[in-house]
Amino acid sequence: MDIVYISDLRIDTVIGIYDWERQVRQTVVLDLEMAWDIAQAATSDDIQYTLNYKAVSDRLIEFVSASEFQLLETMAEQICQIILNEFSVPRVKLRLGKPGAVAGARDVGVLIERGSKS
């Protein structure tokens, strides 16, 4: 299976468990790898056979910016479900980071994979 990816998608949102975090918007960073067979798109040169990464990005920006999750884990799971269900992607790997959340670390977050391995 081929991979369509989105790297370093930065979205401002409300995220966190502390009272002060509920009052401000923080940036989360998404790196996505989405399984997709690109053969038909490559041979036809027709966008209808692609996984439209612009449409995926727009949907995730809309979703994440409007969300107010406490945990990155919950956000990550919901993001993967959107990709799997709304875009018919068979497998997705997501790295979701929260830059600056821990002093001394550039980034912290979660890395999850969902969907079928076949």
Q: Which residues are catalytic?
A: 98
DSSP labels, 57-91: HHHHHHHHHH-EES-HHHHHHHHHHHHHHHS--SE
Classified as helix, coil or strand, 20 is helix
Q: What are phi and psi of 106, to 5 degrees?
A: -65, -35
Residue that has been written with the tokens 């790196």 in this structure: 31
